[in-house]
Homo-oligomer: A and B are copies of this chain.
Amino acid sequence: MATQCSSFEVQGACGRARAGLLSLPHGEVQTPAFMPVGTRATVRGLDNADIRATGASLVLANTYHLWVRPGHRLIEKLGGLHRFMAWDGPILTDSGGYQVFSLRDRLKITEEGVRFRSVEDGQYRLLTPEVSIEIQEALGVDVAMAFDECLELPADRDKTLKSTERTTRWLRRCVEARTKPESTALFGIVQGGLEADLRVAHAQEIAEMDLDGYAIGGLSVGESREHLLAMAEVSADALPNEKIRYLMGVGHPHDIVDSVLLGVDLFDCVLPTRAGRHGQAYTSVGRKNLKNAKYSEDGGPLDPGCGCGTCTTYTQAYLRHLVKCDEMLGKRLLSFHNVYFYQALLRDLRSAITDGDEAAIAGIRAMAVVASARV
């Protein structure tokens, strides 16, 4: 198709795990990949040079937040989101739906879309598939996500089925609403709650629409780790092999590694930056809380094996001091380390997949399990 601006190539595999290359208007992304979250057109605590230095090549921004502040039309007028945030690499936006569904009390869901009152400015707004695509295209991002219904769990089978059907209808409207397929790709989202067969059916149904990529949605919302991985597995298996698979909102390092081993290629999560702002660091020896007094006299780095600027420059004693004093630099240095840690994890995993090195993959998985647990 001449108007497609995105392509994906599986370049290597080991079991179900894939090493791929996602090509987007603003650059290429080696997968498996992790997107740091830049909610309001900034990845909290990092500037663009920092983001590059972590190894990240694709960032996620939140449609809802940019719609409300400063407004997608203003960003469009100023040359689009890339120019606005001065990030020349690829950007993916969510549909805005997740944030809207999180504001439960003022919410009214109809077939048309979702009517709600935004807490930021008290204004009533209507988010529909058409509006979501309009905003994302105005932002000029590389990848727009389809507007889906975010089902609250637990949900019964009938409700889940109806929600999945509505998500498909909304997806068709998203496809219809596109006006810039040559510059903004569209990924569809598999729903189906915790019903494996509904997920399979939904994945197969939307796969027929031959979109640029497919996401697995409705997870990482409080369900158990077993449910998360089981639903990721059935969803990934039912999606076409030649398209990128994105598991939204995941997650802890070991959840990411396990999902890659189930055939997922792309991830986003606020955890590394949020943890950094709260004084926590993901390391190869566990998730550290720098508020802990045991680091107060520690002249060593966060993670001796880490090559990031935080670990090669600063001691844990200094980082703890910054955290205890609530200094901005502490949040920044820890956020930087955490995003770097995630990027290094996925880079190592990609390398092991490409090499078909199962022992290396097992080692990375074991490390990710350790890194995800508090010490």
Contact = CB atoms under 8 A, between A and B. Distances in A.
A337 interface: no
Contacts of A44: 327-329
B296 A74 contact: yes
Contacts of A85: 318
A78 interface: yes
B78 A297 contact: yes
Interface residues of A, number: 36
Given A41-B318, A86-B314, A313-B86, A78 B299 contact: yes
A47 B333 contact: yes
A296 B84 contact: no
A324 interface: yes
A69 B323 CA distance: 12
Contacts of A318: 41, 78, 84-86
Nearest to A49: B309
B317 A74 contact: yes
Contacts of A7: none
B317 A78 contact: yes
B332 A328 contact: yes
A2 interface: no
Interface in A251-296: 296
Contacts of A99: none
Given A317-B84, A332-B328, A333-B47, A297 B77 contact: yes
B297 A74 contact: yes
A332 B328 CA distance: 9
A321 B86 contact: no
Nearest to A77: B297
A211 interface: no
A325 interface: yes
B325 A69 contact: yes
A40 interface: yes
B74 A40 contact: no
A328 B70 CA distance: 17
Contacts of A42: 322, 327-329
A257 B324 CA distance: 37
A14 B297 CA distance: 50
Contacts of A299: 78-79
A60 to B, nearest CB: 16
Contacts of A79: 299
Interface string A65-79: 000011000100111
A129 interface: no
A10 to B, nearest CB: 36
Contacts of A70: 296, 317, 320-321, 324
Given A46-B329, A84-B315, 7 more contacts: A42-B327, A69-B324, A69-B325, A74-B317, A78-B318, A86-B313, A86-B314
* Shortest beta-carbon contacts, A-B, top 8: A42-B329, A70-B321, A40-B325, A86-B313, A42-B327, A78-B299, A45-B328, A84-B318
28 contacts: A40-B325, A40-B327, A42-B327, A44-B327, A44-B328, A44-B329, A45-B328, A46-B329, A47-B329, A47-B333, A48-B313, A69-B321, A69-B324, A70-B296, A70-B320, A70-B321, A74-B296, A74-B317, A77-B297, A78-B315, A78-B317, A84-B315, A84-B317, A84-B318, A84-B321, A86-B314, A328-B331, A332-B332
